[in-house]
Structure 1
Amino acid sequence: MRLTETAYAKINLALHVRKRREDGYHVLETLFAFVDAGDVLTAQSAEQDRLTTVGEFATTLSDPFGNIVAKALSALPRPDGLAITLEKNLPVAAGLGGGSADAGAVFRIIRDTYGLPEDWRERAARLGADVPACVDSDMHIGLGVGDERREVVNDMAGMAVLLVNPRVPLSTGAVFKAWNGKDLGPLPMGSASEISRNSRNDLRPAAVELCPPIVHVLEALKDTDSWMCEMSGSGATCFALYEDVAHRDRAAQVIAESEPQWWQMKGQLR
């Protein structure tokens, strides 16, 4: 048995923070979307679980055997072990849900091989608030702390995406802590495109305060005449959407020539 699964990069087309709870978590309303690219996990049957990490960002995982992939393996019952190779293509602490996406891919590998228990959502949520969303890896509205879902009309599937990160890690916890606590209102109603056009990312001001290069990334993306651009999650990765691949590829080339040190990834919305 050999399975390969992509850990799809998560982006937030909209992210409204409504309040800070007493337990430190935050009540969110977000439009989750997923790009058809990301980390890649390859799994084979083994006597016991084993994890090998390779790829550009493998060395940024200080303890690969204690990371969320290993925890995801331990969260689900099954008769055999799995040897997983994680090709870490997404930067860490980047607002792309990389670790959660990796865990989601593990859940899908186990689902396709052994099936999942009925309480898999609860098991996933214990690993991280957005892990259930990353198991699904489809466009939907996330509520609560991000672990509750509401369906949305996905009229954006196939749109070309460019992800850009200034190669500056940014702690999610630090950004949420720096949020000003002001509730600016709920997500608007409508299809995914309507919500995206009329929403915002409430974490952007706090992220920019901690990581000023985000401003330069967004300015560069705006200059490419994209359909929309915004920071994803808690940053520092920003994304731009385009109505065709050729426009996106031209934008990627221009940015790569002007800022060759920035990380990029190209894909399309699922």
Structure 2
Amino acid sequence: MIRKAYAKLNLAIDVLGRREDGYHYVDMVSIPLDLHDFLEISELNSRYETFITADDVSLVCDESNLVHKAFVLMKNHYNLNKSYRIQIYKMIPTQAGLAGGSSDAACLMRAISKSIKNVTLSDLAELGKDIGADVPFCIHESSARVQGVGEKLDLIENNLKFYVLIVKPTMGLATSEVYKLYDEIGQDKKPDIPALVDILNKNPKEKDIAPLLYNGLRKTATTLCPDIQNILDKMKELGLVACEMSGSGSACFALSSDSKKLEAAAKVFNKLGYKTFITHIHHKEN
């Protein structure tokens, strides 16, 4: 079977504090994108062990890979005796703040759960929170206000039609390093999360949503990767008003209802040597 693993975009992030175990409490608004990886999952004879491969040679596919952790978690929790060959076809850039690894892990959990009776998405999200903070969101594949350390989700019904330009610098950022520096320098302001949640239900235009886009990790991320600010400044110069950085970086995004405008901007960034993607907001089929 072949399954899609959808990228995540953070419209706003407010970091509220740090737990003793190193995890951070957050309040954020996340949306799924149509940009996705593919997972090809083939069941093996039980005498073989599960193994993972990827078309991206830079992707580590050992026990540290979130897909491997997801498989072990499902196997132990549900007493599974099946083995699989899992091939990951990457489209979501790594170390970009787009939850590519978490999305792949969530995709595997959803796929395996189809052969288990009476397993809900809420069950998988509760289980998946131990793998990574973005896994519960990726399990649901729906826009949401995400709180706690990623395990508390309030799904947001919306019909957003924005196209999305993703621009990624050459340098990627490790989430752990960004949060480590955040603990030292913090954030400049606090986003108005309730206002952002409210406006998502009203089919906003770029100019309406733009003032509410704020990532509390951007100050830290731009300290580590100054190119992030260069990208955001260039987006504004090109007339893109609804722009921000996603997750812990280093990818930046711009929302627009005008796909041609984003295509023109992408050409500019490509000439500057950046990796670009044009996609749109993903909505699950009813």
TM-score with structure 2 length normalisation?
Answer: 0.84
Question: What is aligned with 1:123?
Answer: 127
Question: Mind listing any 5+ residue stretches in structure 1 that lack a counterpart?
Answer: none
Question: What is aligned with 1:266?
Answer: 278
Moved more, 10-19 or 112-121: 112-121
RMSD: 2.1
CA contact (8 A) 1:92 1:169 kept: yes
Question: What is aligned with 1:104?
Answer: 106
- Distance across 1 between alignment mates of 2:117 and 2:99: 24
**Which of the numbers 193, 205, 224 marks the counterpart of 1:187?**
193
Moved more, 45-54 or 99-108: 45-54
How many pairs does the alignment contain?
Answer: 262
- Runs (4+) of structure 1 moved beyond 4 Å? 193-196
For residue 266 of structure 1, what is the amino acid of its counterpart? I
For residue 169 of structure 2, what is the amino acid of its counterpart? P
Moved more, 92-101 or 186-195: 186-195
Deviation at 1:66, TM superposition (A): 3.6
- Distance across 2 between alignment mates of 1:40 and 1:71: 18
Deviations 1:200-222 (A, max 9, x none): 11110111011111111112222
Would the alpha carbon gap of residues 224 and 113 (structure 1) be closer, same or farther in structure 2, given more than 3 Å must change? farther
Matched, 1:176 2:179: yes
Question: Mind listing any 5+ residue stretches in structure 2 that lack a counterpart?
Answer: none
- Distance across 2 between alignment mates of 1:17 and 1:176: 9
For residue 274 of structure 2, what is the amino acid of its counterpart? W
| Identity across the alignment (%) | 32
Question: What is aligned with 1:200?
Answer: 214
- 3-state SS, counterpart of residue 60 of structure 2: coil
Question: What is aligned with 1:210?
Answer: 224
Moved more, 207-216 or 38-47: 38-47
Deviations 1:225-248 (A, max 9, x none): 235110001111001111032222
Deviation at 1:65, TM superposition (A): 5.0
Question: What is aligned with 2:151?
Answer: 147
CA contact (8 A) 2:13 2:191 kept: no
TM-score with structure 1 length normalisation?
Answer: 0.88
Deviations 1:156-182 (A, max 9, x none): 2x3111111112121111111222346
CA contact (8 A) 1:232 1:239 kept: yes
- Distance across 2 between alignment mates of 1:90 and 1:202: 23
**Which of the numbers 226, 235, 244 marks the counterpart of 2:249?**
235
Would the alpha carbon gap of residues 111 and 227 (structure 1) be closer, same or farther in structure 2, given more than 3 Å must change? farther
- Distance across 2 between alignment mates of 1:61 and 1:93: 11
- 3-state SS, counterpart of residue 73 of structure 1: helix
For residue 212 of structure 1, what is the amino acid of its counterpart? P
CA contact (8 A) 1:152 1:191 kept: no
CA contact (8 A) 1:33 1:139 kept: yes
- Distance across 1 between alignment mates of 2:131 and 2:5: 15
Deviation at 1:5, TM superposition (A): 1.5
- Distance across 2 between alignment mates of 1:125 and 1:5: 21
